[in-house]
Amino acid sequence: NAGVMQNPRHLVRRRGQEARLRCSPMKGHSHVYWYRQLPEEGLKFMVYLQKENIIDESGMPKERFSAEFPKEGPSILRIQQVVRGDSAAYFCASSPRLYGYTFGSGTRLTVV
């Protein structure tokens, strides 16, 4: 049973481009969480999704950021028109229930 798979591991985007981060949860896990870690900081909650539903997006910036977890396929975190301040490590976690998280290895986004 593979762990939580995130790809790409590293992503470089120029300012103004779009970034798409993918997360495949563990088999049987229906809860997906996205967290962001800025340099020298802890992880900050962004969004919680279940299949086809956004349950809590209280940590998502109001503009440019969106997330989905379709019925088929991975969860996607999309950042439009990236800026340098978006450079961070983005971690996805999945769970079969509340708590019991398993984190992926993260996607390191660098905006140049």
Nearer to other proteins, 44 or 78 (CB): 44
Give the separation between CA 67 and CA 2, rounded to whole angstroms: 23
Residues at the contact surface with other proteins, assessed by CB under 8 A = 4, 6, 31, 33, 35, 40-45, 48, 55-56, 59, 91, 93, 95, 98-99, 101-106
List, edge to edge, every strand of the sheet that includes 75-79: 5-7, 19-24, 75-79, 65-68
Shortest gap between Cβ of 27 and other proteins (angstroms)? 17
Cβ-Cβ contacts under 8 Å for 85 (sequence gap 6 or more): 111
Residue 10 vs 15, nearer CB to other proteins: 10
Provide the minimum distance between the beta carbon of 61 and other proteins in the complex, in angstroms, as a whole number. 16
Q: How far is the CB of 89 from other proteins (least distance, A)?
A: 9
Give yes or no for a contact between 106 and 8, defined as CB atoms under 8 angstroms apart.
no
